[in-house]
Amino acid sequence: MKRDLISIEDLGDELKEVIDLAIAMKGETKDGMSMQPFKGKVLGMIFEKPSLRTRVSFEVGFTQMGGTALYLSPNEIQIGKRESVKDVAKVLSRFVDIIMYRAFRNENMRELARYAEAPVINGLDNVEHPCQALADLMTISEIKGDLTGRKLCWIGDGNNVLNSLMLGAARLGMDVSAGCPSNYWPDAEMVERTKRIAAGSGSTLEITDDPFAAARDADVIYTDTWVSMGDEAEKEQRLSAFRPYQVNMDLFSRAKPDAIFLHCLPAHRGEEVTNEVMDSERSAIYQQAENRMHAQKAAMVRIAGLR
Ligand code: CP
Ligand code: NVA
């Protein structure tokens, strides 16, 4: 039975193990001791949107593991336009061993996974960004150690990145606070799902429109763009709604003195975050970006049942 990674929840109770595996594999790679479990295998990467990190980290990571990665650009396949999602899933599965898909619509993501014989990994859609959350939780683990009882604070848009992150953080026993303008709170169903998970792990989820209250005593301050890919038509209204939610030194100083700053990138310096925070000693954004590769390598190894 093939395994997909569409939601961070698809890893369920294995989330901590996959993070520990990613940290171990990162060490092996740096020591020049990495294995090549995907020798002769092919990863197909379908992109409907632009990317730096997702494209490069999947391609380099899969190559390091002995395989070949195939980049299929937004103009190439035109899923659902040139050809149905089902036919793309069926045909691609005859050629490649794993499919990574960056999509506009979660419905297409799920349909592709339903019909593909190859495992499908979500490289971001409008609902989740599970690979990002894996790398984020890995980064926090590397810096802070045990995550239980740590407080993760999200500032800004209640978007796809937050959805995966809060589901995963709750699973690992982290308290999550989100400071978002009232029109941009995360989806109610995602909030309910996170609260159920948090009840099981003894952690909490708090959502407020007060960014300073959200940031209080946090171990991690995290923000993302105010205008996600696909939201461009709302740009002006978003920029004005989010202005009070900029992560600057004033807001960052409400967190713990040793709090770290994270951003999934790409960042819009001077909008959601200032240069001062981005470039501060407590910013872990480049370690976080590098960890995309290690986290995804571990996820691929795990869903392929190799480790
Ligand atoms: N964080 C992230 O997914 O970056 P890209 O859009 O560059 O892949
Ligand atoms: N929320 C952003 C993340 C980009 C990596 C987007 O969906 O565009």
- Distance in Å from the first CA to the final CA of the chain: 16
Adjacency order of strands within the sheet including 205-208:
205-208, 175-179, 151-155, 220-223, 260-263
In a domain, 2, yes or no: no
Residue 165 in 3-state DSSP? helix
Cβ 112 vs Cβ 93: under 8 Å: no
Ligand 2 site, residue 159, Cβ cutoff 6 A: yes
Query: Which ligand 2 atom is nearest residue 224's CA?
Result: 1
Nearest to 252 by CA among 235, 272, 228, 230: 272
In a domain? residue 188: yes
Residue whose C-alpha is closest to residue 108's, from 121, 92, 125: 125
145 and 276 housed in the same domain = yes
Task: Give the active site residues.
Answer: 102, 129, 132, 224, 264, 292
* 275 in the same domain as 149: yes
Same domain flag for 144 and 249: yes
Q: Each residue of 160-199: pLDDT tens digit?
A: 999 999 999 999 999 999 999 999 999 999 999 999 999 9
CA of 210 relative to ligand 1 center, distance in Å: 28
Q: Are strands 151-155 and 42-47 parallel, antiparallel or unpaired?
A: unpaired
Same domain membership, residue 78 and residue 16? yes
- How far is Cα 85 from Cα 199, in angstroms, rounded to an integer? 37
- Kindly report, residue by residue over 192-209, the tens digit of the pLDDT: 999 999 999 999 999 999
SS3 100: strand
pLDDT of residue 59: 98
Ligand 1 neighbourhood includes 51 CB (under 6 angstroms): yes
DSSP labels for 239-287? HHHHGGG-B-HHHHTTS-TT-EEEE-S---BTTTB-HHHHTSTTB-HHH
Top mutation candidate among 161, 166, 234 for ligand 2, by most atoms within 8 Å of CB: 161
Quick check: 157 and 228 in contact, CB under 8 A?
yes
Residue-wise pLDDT tens digits, 17-62: 999 999 999 999 999 988 899 999 999 999 999 999 999 999 999 9
* Model confidence at 137: pLDDT above 90: yes
Sign of CA dihedral 276, 282, 288, 291: positive
DSSP 8-class letter at 210 = -
User: What is the distance in A from the centroid of ligand 2 to the CA of 52?
Assistant: 12
pLDDT digits (tens, 9 = 90+) for 252-287: 999 999 999 999 999 999 999 999 999 999 999 999
Do 207 and 115 have their domain in common? no
- Residue 234 belongs to a domain with what CATH number? 3.40.50.1370
Q: For ligand 1, say whether the CB of 199 is within 6 Å of any of its atoms.
A: no
The DSSP H or E segment spanning 134 is helix 130-144
Q: What distance in angstroms lies between residue 160's CA and the mean position of ligand 1's atoms?
A: 12
13 and 111 inside one domain: yes
Cβ of 42 less than 6 Å from ligand 2: no
Tell me the ligand closest to 133's alpha carbon. 1
Q: Name residues whose C-beta falls within 8 Å of residue 153's C-beta, 6 or more positions apart in sequence.
A: 176, 177, 178, 179, 214, 215, 218, 220, 221, 222, 255
| CA 266–ligand 1 middle distance (angstroms) | 6
Residue 144 resides in a domain? yes
- What range does the domain containing 190 cover? 132-288
Q: Verify that 107 and 177 share a domain, yes or no.
A: no
pLDDT digits (tens, 9 = 90+) for 78-123: 999 999 999 999 999 999 999 999 999 999 999 999 999 999 999 9
Q: Is 224 in the pocket of ligand 2 (CB under 6 A)?
A: yes
Q: What is the pTM of this model?
A: 0.98
Which pLDDT score is estimated for 35?
86
Q: Is the CB of 278 under 6 A from ligand 2?
A: no
pLDDT, position 130:
99
- Minimum-distance ligand to the CA of 224? 2
Residue 160 Cβ contacting ligand 2 at under 6 Å:
yes
Cis peptide before 130 (omega within 30 of 0): no
Amino acid at 265: L
